[in-house]
Chain A
């Protein structure tokens, strides 16, 4: 009896819905099958490496010999590794130097492209072109333009009677050069995104502003920028992620070493260095996870900063205040 009683409601409870999932599965199977390629590929090329890199970060492994478990030793080393913290500092300085002028320029370009000017199509393509240019070719051009001794910029500075700047061998020179490369490459890309956002702003707002006698600058700051807030948030977060994972520009410009004083050594370049030139996969993985943490924190901060002034939050706050009263 004592065994029968609990068994009965069990079978009754499960027997009814059990038939349903079967039927449902058969009906939905083709749909799951249709979307499965993404998940299968993601599991192999995305999920597995991510999970494996967590495992790796707790080991000491040279990529071919035996893996030995070392616990938190890699993370401990990371905390005291001056080269890593130098890379973190570099990454943020370069990100700061590049993102702010880049997004501002992109916004201005998008605003101008949105006006009724001639050859808009040509300009759109022209501004987007840097984004699809070969990075290696670009590095050669930038290397020549910013070259310490033979560069165009230093020649111009000399012609103007100014001192030359060691762009490629001083700490700030290297960072500015990389920032300029980033700006050059991504301004057009962001401008196209802003342009798409601009086109979704209703024209009656502009017409109303015109009727009220607003000038172009007022229109830009009072209508365009506020209406573009979600798009701006998107580009800020994308540039944060892109800026924190900066790799190609310093690598092609300065090589794996990051230049003099490792001034161009970014977090990802350092990670690449440890994992693929020094074959220290454990430490490389630990750096990757440290970067993940930093990127997560900054995405949250960004989100707060850019969307924090939205109307919902203050309203909720006053509501809470009133409730307290």
Chain B
């Protein structure tokens, strides 16, 4: 959000044609209307030696970007990196829609499925030789970068393998399994996991997790099947769908009383619940190791991470894409493979804690700190990442997933009847899809 680091300041400003007027117009969307067909360059930078890249704060390692600003290895080009603040997607979409100020290279977050309907605006990286490094990356992450048409448009950056964080001391106190291995062994199914949570609740009064939504997502994110198949046919309507299964488990957890009813948006409450021991666990991704460390510093050394039931899932993780206007796709491809190489992902982890999508990176990394006792979260999550299944996220998902979490929250905090909530969810989803022209 803040602009404490500006890679531009490293070099003199590039020559640009009347930037004030153009940026003024482009930002309102007038430019595409006024200059449509006037032959205006749709790129951020007109300098042929310069590739412009958009990313967000902590989305890429400043150290690596500084090197790229000098020279992109293996080419005679250099990088102009623009740190885009909030509403990244809106800005990227605006520039693509207006056909103006499009970066040559852009980061895209884990919501890359939003861009599937307009995948033609991005280059197929397979045609640029991306497949030669495919073996270096976790296969499921690589597959998430594939569009429904089978084009490879989104190159892996970081990942978010998931696990179950828990307070070992509280588990130990009341005689529950407490080592990561024992907890994982005692919770091989979600039903067992809920049962263990109920035991903990009756013995200590502590909740297992903060909200039911985290359970719903943990089940969904660790499943090969999600809301839709590759043809956008709805799977969630089938009686034994993963979505329904995840919903049922979340409802069962609510009924067992193991969720603290603190929605994740209420960060203050969430942090207080962790640091006070009101909540003794968290289903989270690799990036939440740090969140937990920062929000509950008083509980250092007491947390451990166990494998979540069934298998690990993935929550979050960015991509890099090349818009069709990229002025030198080959050099851009070199940049991508350089910045996401196993060595440089290790650098990025040390720099801004991006969890590497290349298993090899972990050979160079060691975890410093004792928040998780003698356990090494890096080792845990890099192992967990191997069990994440390949899944497909549909472009339609974001329009309906909100209905599921809203109604689940109504069940959790408002005491709404789960079956009624489920039927409301389906009705809402159907309505939204119908508006988007999809009949279910």
Contacts and interface: CB of A to CB of B under 8 A. Distances in A.
Interface of A: 44-45, 48-49, 52, 60, 62-65, 73, 77, 81, 83, 140, 143-144, 147-150, 166, 168-171, 254-255, 257, 259-262, 276-280, 283
Interface stretch (B174-182, B228-236, B263-271): B263-271
Contacts of A261: 409-410, 413-414
Contacts of A168: 266, 269
Nearest to B92: A64
Interface residues of B, number: 45
Contacts of B405: 257
Given A261-B413, A278-B399, A143 B30 contact: no
A61 to B, nearest CB: 8
Closest 3 CB pairs of A and B: A255-B265, A143-B268, A64-B93
A248 to B, nearest CB: 14
Contacts of A83: 428
A147 B272 CA distance: 10
B120 to A, nearest CB: 9
Contacts of A283: 435
Given A148-B269, A260-B414, A49 B262 contact: no
A147 B260 CA distance: 13
A44 B269 contact: no
Interface string B114-153: 1101100100000000000000000000000000000000
Contacts of A260: 263, 409-410, 412-414
Interface stretch (B21-29, B36-44, B68-76): B21-29
A257 B96 contact: no
Contacts of A62: 93, 117-118
Given A63-B97, A149-B278, A143 B262 contact: no
A45 B266 contact: no
B58 interface: no
A143 B273 CA distance: 14
A60 B438 CA distance: 13
B245 interface: no
A65 B118 contact: yes
Nearest to A260: B413
Given A77-B435, A259-B263, A144 B93 contact: no
Interface in B197-220: none
Contacts of A48: 28-30
B87 interface: yes
A64 B262 contact: no
A169 B118 contact: no
Contacts of B263: 169, 257, 259-260
A140 B272 CA distance: 13
A150 B269 contact: yes
Contacts of B269: 143, 147-150, 168
Interface string B5-44: 0000000000000000000110011100000000000000
A218 to B, nearest CB: 47
A257 B115 CA distance: 22
Nearest to A73: B435
B94 A147 contact: no
B391 to A, nearest CB: 21
Contacts of B239: none
Contacts of A255: 265
B268 A144 contact: yes
A261 B406 CA distance: 7
B410 A140 contact: no
Interface string B394-433: 0000110010011001101110000000000000100100
A147 B268 CA distance: 8
B412 to A, nearest CB: 8
